[in-house]
Structure 1
Amino acid sequence: MGEDGERTLVWCTGISGSQRTDYINEAAEAIRAEGRSCLVIDVGDLLEQVPEHLKVGTSRTELLDGNEDVLRLHRSYALQNMLRMVEETDADVVLVSTHACFLRNGRLMPGLDMHFIKEHFAGRISAFVTVVLDTPDVWRALAQRPEWAGRLRLAEVALWRDFEVALTRMLAEYEGAPFYLLARRDPAEGLARLTRRPPAPSAYLSYPITAILQSGSTKLIEGARTLAARLRDEAGLVVFDPLSIEDLPQTKEGTPPDESREDDDGAPPISDEMEDEAEPYLVSHTVATDLQLVDQADMVVVYYPTDKVSPGVFTEMSHARDRRKPLYLCEFPGAPERVSPFLGLFHTASFESVDGLIAHLRSEQQASG
């Protein structure tokens, strides 16, 4: 497939330490497993391929500490190579891996050449994606890299991620393309499904995380994760799980370590001072991220196996209603017969069990073709 009308081109961003490259490569493997061809273009790797007589510094990171004109020169060379690769490939899907911006030594720098994108890629990009990992895990990963150690505080990592997300989303809005915030610790198959034509349907999984954790029952968290897996495997959905981004210490309680986490061995501890400094940003992240995940989903599934009140869940339900998203209640107290009539303003349907929800979603998909 050599024509853009037949090709899916996805522009993927993510800050250093977010494991963006690993996630994109896993997504590419999932795309190929579906029988489609996929090309991954890493702009950082192309920066390393600048001819020796033009190269300044020994690594791509050194460019961030020098003259921005030199950085733009290297980036221009890399982007020209990227354009050539896009024009020449017959791949069904092209995943471009790059940065939207950099924050280093208190200095914010663009990671995109907007003129180049406007001139060569206007109307050609199918979707924009930002891959995110827990902010503390990103800080620990960067602290173990000589080129980044001591360069950023935890709050600065949080701000960098905010800038990365905001700039990528702004570019998507300018191009009239969808934007997705994707958690590194969610299956990369989600990105693969979003590159289909049409994209696979998606759902935001809302559940009372704080209430469940405070109950001390890890079984309820396991129930939510099992539901997410069944929605993916049995209903074919892309699932956006808010607990896949754990910025706050309390969200890590009661959850098992994940293999995609960075190894903490050798990383300096995060001081109480840094945690206190970063807390306002991380709290804000949590709210903004969850609402973004609602915005990008086709529907919202509310899993509520507790009678404890959750302000977060009801905020998400209200937001979903305002965005005209179908909303399904699962295991909600009293569902389906005794759900408050006031909740009728928010939900589309309610189900006593996960089995009933899955059966409904599958029948809806079959009915829609």
Structure 2
Amino acid sequence: MKEFIRKYRNLMTIALSLAGIVLMMYYDYCDTECSYLRGDIWGIDLKWVGIAYMTAVIIFAAFRQSSFVRALLAAGLGVEVHLYAFQIQNDVYCPFCLAFSVLLILSFIINYEVPSAWREKKRRLWLYFLGEVDFPMLRIHKLPLLLFSLLGYLSILFTFSGSVTPAFGQEVAAGVPSLGKGKYEIVMFADYFCPPCLRIDTKAEPLLKELLATGKIKITFADVPFHRFTPTYIKYYLYAVNAHSGTKNVFHIRKTLFEAAQVKHIETENALIAYLKQQKISLKPIDEKSIFSILSSMINENNIKSTPTCIIRYSATDVKKFVGDEEIWNGLNALKTHLSAGEK
């Protein structure tokens, strides 16, 4: 087995690194929900840093530069220690990030070599528990890989910026637009650039209108700024609702904004304004900053980590939370069943 690993370790390392790249690219496209767990290094999204890192590993492995491969993987272990700690501290876990770390650890194990210091039973053996590396061209020999892990840890410690909860960073408040009045409340948290949000928004529209027609439901759309351009979309949603706040118009506005984000891929303010005018949506400016503050509070109070998320309040003490388009669909139908049973 050891001989097999030694013979094919470069190919195995390349395969695992490619899997890591695919994983990060898939993470950039969310399936049933979009998570907000975010991180960057000097402003560069951690996903792209991960892709660049795995690309470097592939290049060194392809040219059989095992010393550089082991050094990179050891540094990656140090980085992962900090990222694990960040997730544990915030009690938010990213399955894609955890899977990426598993691939990295497997790559490290495949490339591990028992250090000569252990075989020679020298002092300070603990320095070499991760192995050692030689760089003959630099006249460096038996350098502990633990040093690279520490370097990786310190690098991420001082350059990493992470966030688990989105916020608008604005000031205090006026009111978030809502539809209907009633004992029961539905709060839909979504991002216009989130594919699952578009799916549930489209699918649930007839059901939401049906629930509103009972006169027992209040619906609030609380948009979440996951995407960098989402705050601009939210601003014009508020302007449009301020111009015409009827139920039919609100749903039309949301449909148009989702199309602008995911079909037209509009990411400039002027283009968005032009598209809204083209769709005959009127705009009436308001002080959106005050409403942004309320939205931030709602996001924090409800611990929104991903979209779409739906909060359904049956009463002050009976509050249900649904995450992902399938869960939300089931939750809305359960509310419909509850209302129907109450009428009998």
Largest Rg, 1 or 2: 2
Same-fold call, TM > 0.5? no
Q: Which of the two has greater helix per residue?
A: 2
TM-score, reference length from structure 2: 0.26
Higher RCO (Cα < 8 Å, 6 or more apart): 2
TM-score for both structures, normalised by structure 1: 0.25
